[in-house]
C-alpha cells in the first residue's frame, strides 16, 4: 500500500473542521499526516482519516483485496468472480482461465489509489501481458471479471451513509490541432484544482501504461491529434488519485444499497468505511442492475469532497469521534 509522504487534503479538511468546532489541534508530523485533536476531556490521534475507529483486523481485511473479496462472498454480498495468483508459483501455460468471461481486470492485492489496475483485458494475449507486467512489481495479484457500470464510493461514518459519489474518469476534448499528450499536459498545468497526489481538490491526470492502453483501445496514441470537439476518456477508472473527479449522488442511493453498505461496516465493526459499488444505476437494487461490491477501504480519502460536492464529510467524522 502506498504511503503518503506529504500533507494531504484529507488531513487539512479534518484539521480545519476540528478548529471550526472549537477543538484544539496539534500537528505532530505533516509529512506523516499525524495530528491530535483535543477537547477538555478527550484527545484523539489521527493518521489522516484513520482515527483508531477500525480494528487492526478490519484494516488488514480492507487493505488486502482478496481478503475483502472472501469476506464479502462469505456473507453473500454481490461480488465479481475473482482469483488470486502469486508470482512464486504461477505458470500461464498451465493455469486455466476458461471459467472467466472477458473482459477482465488485473489488479494488485495490496495497493491502492488505482495503482497497478489494468482494465478492459479482452483476450488471453492481453491477459498474459497484463499478468507479466504486474508481476514485475507485485508478488500477488487478482484476476477479476470486469463488471459493467459506473464506479461509486459510498462512505459510511458512524453507522450512517455520509456521502455517496460517482467517480468519473478524466477526459480531454480535442481542438483538431493538439496531440492527446499535450491536451493532458495542458489540463494538468492549467487547471488550478489539480495538484500532485492528494494535495489539491483534484489530482493530476496520471500518464502510465493504463492510460496508454485506454486511449489505444479507442484508436489513438498519445501523439494522436484529437478531432475538434471530440471527447475521450483517457483512463478506465475514475479514481481521484489518478486524475478522476466526483459527482454527488447521495440522494439517489437505493435504500437496499444503503442498508447493504451499513451492514458491511457493522459486520467489520468499522466507524468509517468506504464501500466501492459498481452499478449502472445507483438508484436501483444491485440485483436489478447486476451490480457488485468492488472493494472496501478502511482509510478513505476525503480530499476535495467538500469543494466538489458541498458535503462536509470532515464535519461528520469529527462529530463521530469527539
pLDDT score for 171: 98
Q: What is the pTM of this model?
A: 0.91
Whole-number Å distance between alpha carbons of 180 and 38: 49
Whole-number Å distance between alpha carbons of 91 and 157: 43
Torsion of Cα atoms, 2 then 161 then 254 then 78, to 10° = 40
Q: Does 4 have pLDDT greater than 80?
A: no
Whole-number Å distance between alpha carbons of 111 and 108: 6
pLDDT score for 5: 66
Whole-number Å distance between alpha carbons of 144 and 103: 9
Q: Does 1 have pLDDT greater than 60?
A: no
pLDDT score for 241: 87
Q: Map grid coordinates 435504500 to a residue.
A: 255
For the stretch 85-115, pLDDT in tens is 999 999 998 999 999 999 999 999 998 878 8
pLDDT score for 63: 96
C-alpha cell of 19? 478548529
Residue 105's H or E segment, with its range, is strand 104-108
3-state secondary structure of 10: helix
Whole-number Å distance between alpha carbons of 291 and 12: 34
Distances (CA, A) of 48 to 17, 239, 240, 300: 13, 18, 16, 9
For the stretch 21-77, pLDDT in tens is 999 999 999 999 999 999 999 999 999 999 999 999 999 999 999 999 999 999 999
Q: pLDDT band at residue 288, thresholds of 50, 70 and 90?
A: very high
pLDDT score for 211: 94
Whole-number Å distance between alpha carbons of 62 and 223: 39
Q: pLDDT band at residue 197, thresholds of 50, 70 and 90?
A: confident
More confident residue, 26 or 241: 26
Burial grade of 23 (CB within 10 A; 0-12, 13-18, 19 or more): buried
Whole-number Å distance between alpha carbons of 105 and 101: 11
C-alpha cell of 223? 501523439
For the stretch 219-236, pLDDT in tens is 999 999 999 999 999 998
Whole-number Å distance between alpha carbons of 303 and 308: 10
Q: Does 2 have pLDDT greater than 90?
A: no
pLDDT score for 181: 98
Whole-number Å distance between alpha carbons of 73 and 67: 10
Amino acid at each position: 500500500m502506498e504511503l503518503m509522504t506529504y500533507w494531504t487534503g484529507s488531513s487539512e479538511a479534518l484539521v480545519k473542521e476540528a478548529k471550526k468546532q472549537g477543538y484544539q489541534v496539534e500537528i505532530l508530523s505533516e509529512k506523516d499526516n499525524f495530528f491530535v485533536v483535543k477537547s477538555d476531556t478527550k484527545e484523539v490521534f489521527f493518521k489522516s482519516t484513520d482515527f483508531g475507529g477500525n480494528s487492526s483486523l478490519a484494516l488488514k481485511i480492507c487493505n488486502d483485496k482478496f481478503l475483502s473479496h472472501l469476506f464479502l462472498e462469505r456473507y453473500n454480498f454481490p461480488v465479481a468472480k475473482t482469483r488470486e495468483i502469486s508470482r512464486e508459483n504461477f505458470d500461464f501455460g498451465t493455469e486455466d482461465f476458461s471459467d472467466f468471461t472477458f473482459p477482465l481486470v488485473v489488479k494488485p492485492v495490496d495497493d491502492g489509489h488505482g495503482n497497478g489496475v489494468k482494465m478492459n483485458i479482452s483476450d488471453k494475449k492481453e491477459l498474459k501481458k497484463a499478468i507479466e507486467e504486474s508481476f514485475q512489481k507485485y508478488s500477488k495479484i487478482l484476476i477479476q471479471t470486469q463488471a459493467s457500470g459506473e464506479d461509486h464510493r459510498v462512505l459510511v461514518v458512524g453507522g450512517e451513509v455520509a456521502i455517496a459519489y460517482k467517480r468519473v474518469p478524466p477526459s480531454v476534448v480535442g481542438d483538431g490541432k493538439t496531440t492527446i499528450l499535450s491536451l493532458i499536459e495542458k489540463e494538468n498545468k492549467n487547471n488550478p484544482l489539480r495538484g500532485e497526489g492528494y494535495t489539491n481538490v483534484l489530482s493530476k491526470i496520471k500518464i502510465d501504461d493504463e492510460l496508454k492502453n485506454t486511449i489505444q483501445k479507442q484508436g489513438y496514441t498519445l501523439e494522436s491529434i484529437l478531432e475538434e470537439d471530440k471527447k475521450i476518456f483517457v483512463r478506465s477508472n475514475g479514481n481521484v488519485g489518478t486524475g478522476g473527479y466526483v459527482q454527488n449522488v447521495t440522494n439517489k442511493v437505493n435504500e437496499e444499497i444503503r442498508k447493504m453498505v451499513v451492514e458491511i461496516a457493522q459486520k467489520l465493526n468499522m466507524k468509517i468505511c468506504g464501500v466501492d459499488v459498481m452499478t449502472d444505476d445507483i438508484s436501483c437494487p444491485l440485483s436489478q442492475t447486476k451490480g457488485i461490491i468492488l472493494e472496501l477501504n478502511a482509510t478513505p480519502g476525503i480530499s476535495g469532497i467538500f469543494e466538489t460536492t458541498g458535503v462536509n464529510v470532515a464535519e461528520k467524522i469529527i462529530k463521530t469521534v469527539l
